[in-house]
């Protein structure tokens, strides 16, 4: 017999499905992307203008505030769908551009500042009597997928940009919490673990450890209470995958965690989210309250014997807390310093109890796998790394954004087909994955397939999903120094190889970029790096040398140019470059002279200016302000 | 800097009411405390030590470990400039130089009149908008130096006071 709470849930779900249909069956259905990026680009200011436009046209409309669809370069983005017309997505939809978007959509007038991103078509994947709705974007003229979308496969991001993250009904309408219902009412915990194991899901925090195996270990430890922990301390500079999921589809993470709790036999769970993500935290809180109200968290979930609840722990700004043992120390209210493993968290984790730590993305995959089946998930990606990979594609690439691609796609396809190549006609130099603990790969490695194992063999790592593209103007020594300064700052200080090693490596790199490098420095780097890799307590120290080692491996010539010729080929390192004004291009507008902090630029109005190299501090401000590209670096 | 106003410790009672007796409450208590005072006053830390039964040294250890906590009063306006990878590549160093030039403070410092603090943050996760700066909680994307200086000066002047700047006439 069905319990009362389960019946209630099913009724609510049916109502939610009807409401979902009804709210789109109006004169005009509008979605506005309101993730952090959309808000920063002006989505909140656009909202009242949209409402005004709707009133002016006397339309019965519904506006849904959605998460981000991942096309950051177009933010803010809105979608319009009038009855009987195609659904269109527009970019650069700032307050000032709203009326031209409406005029274009309804009257067909040309767009001036806003951009038509594409026609939105729902895409449905069906398997096991279940379906996965997602958005896909097509060029209206050709009907083909727009380039940014062509190679993408949205599974874990399927709801982002589609539903209102602050509405549990939207989530329920698209089969939300179905996977939890299936787990609790049809599967034993062992069967859930078996399903996840068979799917081949590997931990998306970067390590790639099989998720099902991890759950199995935590289940087997005969001590209670057990804890489920979500690692949302996405600290890598250049990475924002977890933020987008938490902001755009928080319930999927919560559902995945509840299923994990059922599978390992946990009573409580923590979501550790970095404090730099206030919007993600706010939306998580709303989602948790909604789930509690529907009895999806709390005592006797869906009328079963399973009770489970979740709490949010806000980080306080420490990169090392992304390491699982440091994270648990922080949950306990201590300094976020790692402790040695073993014992692994599955045996002794937070408060010394068995704990299961997974990344935000890993949990978000779980409901989809349980619903659609392990075989479906395994059929995607590569045999060794099934499923999709999510990357925050940033840096010197034309189309930046959040992308989800099948595992096995090459770096070249991501950078050139999805990302649209390098802007300003410049040349590609390196792609960096895995952030401060990852590596960079040059042109020759662009055909490396993206999966956990291939990237490691090439000298980089999958990491948690940051992908930063550097063009020819990036100095690889400076780039390596930047990452080393980061790890040096963020080293927790507990173990000497990491604390001292990162300081010494930083000193060497600073020396090299200052033009004081010695030939022996390259061997010193390798020697210290090896000590850190072998001797450090946690992944931070072990992997911190990766950026400098991979740069050295692929760009040794550039290091040598700094050391032996005292020259920075990319023209970045201040001590090794001079700024000059090309007299033929200089119009004598005097802007550079006013911007120069050291008063190193002189010249009469409308006459070519000159830079005094003795006064110049090589800050580059003049080059930044020059509108005629008359200032060059040598 | 202006004379520090006295710390009203009674404001802490609400925080203790929420967290006293909970395991692992120290970090959230420090976060709430900082929300109240904008930094962590020594008197408040002393009180936390007494009420939560945690040694002051340990509290100091935690407070100094995390980047979020401040033991000193900060500027009335706080500008956080992102130096995450994407922002770094897209020009944060130039922004920092411009700020130092304009306001005479390096990252981590506060102007002598207590009006402005400039901080460097590693990644707000809004890399597609690089370089990013956050002024008093408001995210500003694709910053260029002139725009950034203008926004900061406008914010300082919005108080009806002279900005902290050594006035320069380049606009």
Least CB-CB distance to A238: which of B68, B123, B145?
B123
Do A183 and A165 reside in the same domain of the chain?
no
- CB within 8 Å: B65 and A492: yes
- Decide which of A524, A539, A564 is a domain's last residue: A564
pLDDT, residue A58, reads: 95
Q: What's A461's domain CATH number?
A: 3.10.20.600
| DSSP letter (8 states) at residue A318 | -
Q: Strands A388-395, A601-602: parallel, antiparallel or unpaired by DSSP?
A: unpaired
pLDDT(B166) > 60 = no
CA distance A232 to chain B (A): 12
A348 Cβ neighbours under 8 A, 6+ residues apart: A354
The range of the structural domain enclosing residue A23 comes to 4-169
Closest of A526, A534, A547, A438 to residue A495, by C-alpha:
A534
Q: What are phi and psi of A311, to 5 degrees?
A: -130, 150
Least CB-CB distance to B129: which of A40, A237, A483?
A40
CA distance A447 to B142: 31
Do A504 and A585 reside in the same domain of the chain?
no
pLDDT, residue B170, reads: 34
What SS3 string covers A82-112? ECCCCEEEEECCCHHHHHHHHHHHHHCCCCC
pTM for the predicted model, two decimal places? 0.90
pLDDT, residue A466, reads: 87
B51 in Cβ contact with B16 (< 8 Å): yes
pLDDT, residue B3, reads: 52
Which of B19, B24, B90, B124 to probe by mutation at the A interface, max A CB count within 10 Å? B24
Number of domains in chain A: 5
Do A158 and A191 reside in the same domain of the chain?
no
Domains assigned to chain B: 9-65 (1.10.10), 77-157 (3.40.30.10)
- Which parts of chain A sit beneath pLDDT 50? none
- Where are any strands of DSSP class E within A154-215? none
Q: CB-hemisphere CA count at 13 Å for A181? A: 16
Asked if residue A501 belongs to a domain, the reply is yes
- Decide which of A412, A440, A471 is a domain's last residue: A471
pLDDT(B168) > 50 = no
Give pLDDT tens digits for B64-111.
Answer: 999 889 998 888 899 999 988 778 878 898 899 999 999 999 998 889
What are the C-alpha distances in Å from A432 to residues A375, A474, B64? 32, 12, 31
Give pLDDT tens digits for A605-623.
Answer: 999 999 998 888 787 778 8
Asked if residue A570 belongs to a domain, the reply is no
Q: Is A100 on the interface with B (CB under 8 A)?
A: no
* Mean of per-residue pLDDT scores for chain B: 85
Q: CB-hemisphere CA count at 13 Å for A299? A: 0
Do A218 and A349 reside in the same domain of the chain?
yes
Name the A residues in 68-97 with CB < 8 Å from any B CB.
72-73, 75
User: What residue in A sits closest to B134 (Cα-Cα)?
Assistant: A40
Collapsed DSSP state (helix, strand, coil) of residue A433: strand
Q: Is A335 on the interface with B (CB under 8 A)?
A: yes
Q: What's A12's domain CATH number?
A: 3.40.30.10
CA distance A171 to A17: 9
A601 in Cβ contact with A593 (< 8 Å): yes
Spacing of C-alpha A596 from chain mean position: 37
pLDDT, residue B169, reads: 32
Q: Is A114 on the interface with B (CB under 8 A)?
A: no
Asked if residue A34 belongs to a domain, the reply is yes
B120 in Cβ contact with A21 (< 8 Å): no
Asked if residue A193 belongs to a domain, the reply is yes
Asked if residue A383 belongs to a domain, the reply is no
Q: Chain B contacts of A276, Cβ < 8 Å?
A: 121, 123-125
pLDDT, residue B2, reads: 47
pLDDT, residue B4, reads: 57
Measured torsion, CA atoms of residues A276, A280, A283, A289, in degrees rounded to the nearest 10: -80
Q: Is B89 on the interface with A (CB under 8 A)?
A: yes
pLDDT, residue A235, reads: 85
pLDDT, residue B162, reads: 42
Q: Is A122 on the interface with B (CB under 8 A)?
A: no
Q: Is A330 on the interface with B (CB under 8 A)?
A: yes
Length, in residues, of chain A:
634
Q: What's A195's domain CATH number?
A: 3.40.50.11540
- Decide which of A337, A352, A377 is a domain's last residue: A377
Instruction: Please indicate whether residue B48 or residue B124 has the higher confidence score (pLDDT).
Output: B48
Q: Is B41 on the interface with A (CB under 8 A)?
A: no
CA distance A217 to A354: 9
Q: Is B146 on the interface with A (CB under 8 A)?
A: yes
Categorize the per-residue pLDDT at B171 as very low, low, confident or very high, splitting at 50, 70 and 90.
Answer: very low
Q: Chain B contacts of A401, Cβ < 8 Å?
A: 128
pLDDT, residue B62, reads: 97
Least CB-CB distance to B139: which of A39, A336, A400?
A39
What SS3 string covers A514-579? CCCCCCCHHHHHHHHHHHHHHHCCCHHHHHCCHHHHHHHHHCHHHHHHHHHCCCCCCCCCHHHCCE
Q: Strands A61-66, A28-33: parallel, antiparallel or unpaired by DSSP?
A: parallel
pLDDT, residue A222, reads: 96
Name the A residues in 162-221 with CB < 8 Å from any B CB.
none
Closest of A121, A28, A24, A114 to residue A76, by C-alpha:
A114
Give pLDDT tens digits for A498-525.
Answer: 999 999 999 999 999 999 999 999 999 9
Closest of A196, A226, A223, A224 to residue A211, by C-alpha:
A196
pLDDT, residue B137, reads: 80
């Amino acid at each position: 017999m069905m319990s009362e709470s389960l019946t209630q849930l099913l009724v609510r779900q049916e109502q939610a499905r009807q409401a979902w249909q009804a709210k789109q069956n109006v004169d005009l259905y509008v979605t506005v992307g309101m993730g952090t990026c959309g808000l920063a680009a002006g989505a909140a200011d656009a909202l009242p203008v949209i409402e005004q436009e709707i009133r002016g046209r006397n339309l019965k409309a519904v506006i849904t505030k959605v998460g981000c669809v991942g096309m950051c370069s177009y933010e803010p983005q809105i979608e319009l769908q009038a009855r009987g017309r195609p659904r269109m997505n527009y970019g650069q939809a700032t307050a000032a551009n709203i009326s031209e978007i409406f005029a274009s959509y309804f009257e067909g007038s040309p767009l001036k500042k806003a951009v038509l991103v594409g026609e939105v078509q729902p895409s449905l994947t069906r398997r096991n009597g279940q379906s996965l709705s997602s958005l896909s974007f097509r060029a209206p003229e050709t009907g083909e997928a727009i380039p940014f979308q062509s190679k993408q496969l949205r599974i874990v991001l399927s709801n982002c940009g589609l539903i209102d993250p602050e509405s549990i009904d939207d989530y329920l309408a698209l089969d939300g919490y179905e996977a939890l219902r299936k787990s609790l009412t049809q599967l034993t915990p062992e069967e859930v673990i078996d399903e996840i194991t068979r799917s081949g899901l590997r931990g998306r925090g970067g390590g790639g450890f099989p998720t099902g195996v991890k759950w199995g270990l935590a289940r087997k430890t005969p001590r209670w209470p057990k804890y489920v922990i979500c690692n949302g301390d996405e600290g890598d500079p250049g990475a924002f995958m977890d933020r987008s999921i938490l902001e755009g589809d928080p319930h999927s993470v919560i559902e995945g965690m509840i299923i994990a709790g059922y599978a390992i036999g946990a009573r409580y769970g923590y979501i550790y989210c970095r404090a730099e993500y206030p919007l993600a935290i706010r939306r998580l809180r709303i989602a948790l309250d909604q789930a509690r109200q529907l009895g999806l968290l709390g005592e006797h979930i869906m009328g079963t014997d399973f009770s489970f609840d979740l709490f949010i722990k806000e980080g306080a700004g420490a990169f090392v807390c992304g390491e699982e043992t440091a994270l648990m120390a922080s949950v306990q209210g201590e300094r976020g310093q790692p402790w040695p493993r073993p014992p692994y968290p599955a045996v002794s984790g937070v408060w010394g109890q068995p704990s299961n730590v997974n990344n935000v993305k890993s949990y978000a995959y779980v409901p989809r796998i349980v619903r659609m089946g392990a075989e479906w998930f395994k059929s995607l990606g590569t045999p060794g790394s099934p499923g999709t990979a999510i990357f925050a594609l940033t840096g010197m690439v034309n189309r930046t954004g959040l992308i989800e691609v099948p595992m096995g796609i090459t770096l070249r396809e991501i950078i050139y087909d999805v990302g649209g190549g390098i802007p300003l006609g410049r040349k590609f130099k390196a792609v960096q994955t895995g952030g401060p603990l990852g590596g960079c790969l040059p042109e020759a490695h662009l055909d490396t397939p993206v999966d956990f194992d291939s990237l490691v063999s090439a000298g980089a790592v999958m990491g948690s999903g940051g992908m930063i593209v550097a063009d020819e103007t990036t100095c690889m020594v400076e780039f390596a120094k930047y990452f080393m300064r980061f790890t040096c700052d963020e080293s927790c200080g507990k173990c000497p190889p990491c604390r001292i090693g990162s300081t010494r490596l930083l000193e060497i790199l600073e020396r090299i970029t200052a033009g004081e490098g010695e030939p022996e420095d390259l061997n010193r780097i390798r020697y210290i790096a090896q000590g850190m890799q072998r001797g450090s307590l946690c992944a931070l120290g072990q992997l911190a040398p990766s950026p400098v080692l991979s740069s050295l491996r692929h760009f040794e010539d550039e290091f040598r140019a700094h050391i032996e010729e005292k020259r920075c080929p990319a023209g970045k390192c201040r001590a090794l470059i001079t700024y000059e004004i090309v007299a033929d291009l200089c119009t004598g507008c005097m802007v550079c002279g006013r911007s120069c902090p050291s008063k190193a630029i002189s010249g009469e109005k409308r006459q070519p200016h000159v830079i005094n190299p003795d006064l110049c501090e090589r800050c580059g401000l003049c080059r930044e302000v020059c509108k005629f590209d008359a200032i060059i670096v040598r | 800097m202006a004379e520090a106003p006295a710390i009203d410790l009674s404001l802490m009672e609400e925080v203790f009411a929420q967290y006293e007796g909970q395991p692992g409450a120290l970090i959230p208590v420090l976060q709430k405390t900082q929300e109240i005072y904008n930094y962590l006053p020594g008197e408040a830390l002393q009180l936390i030590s007494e009420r939560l039964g945690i040694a002051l040294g340990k509290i100091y250890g935690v407070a100094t470990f995390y980047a979020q906590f401040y033991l000193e009063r900060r500027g009335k306006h706080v500008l956080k400039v992102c130096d995450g990878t994407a922002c770094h590549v897209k020009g944060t160093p130039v922004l920092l130089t411009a700020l130092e030039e304009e306001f005479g403070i390096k990252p981590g410092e506060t102007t002598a009149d207590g009006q402005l603090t400039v901080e460097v943050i590693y990644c707000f996760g809004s890399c597609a908008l690089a370089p990013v700066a956050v002024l008093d909680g408001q995210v500003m994307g694709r910053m260029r130096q002139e725009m950034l200086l203008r926004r900061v000066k406008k914010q300082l002047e919005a108080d009806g006071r002279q900005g902290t700047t050594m006035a320069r006439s380049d606009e």
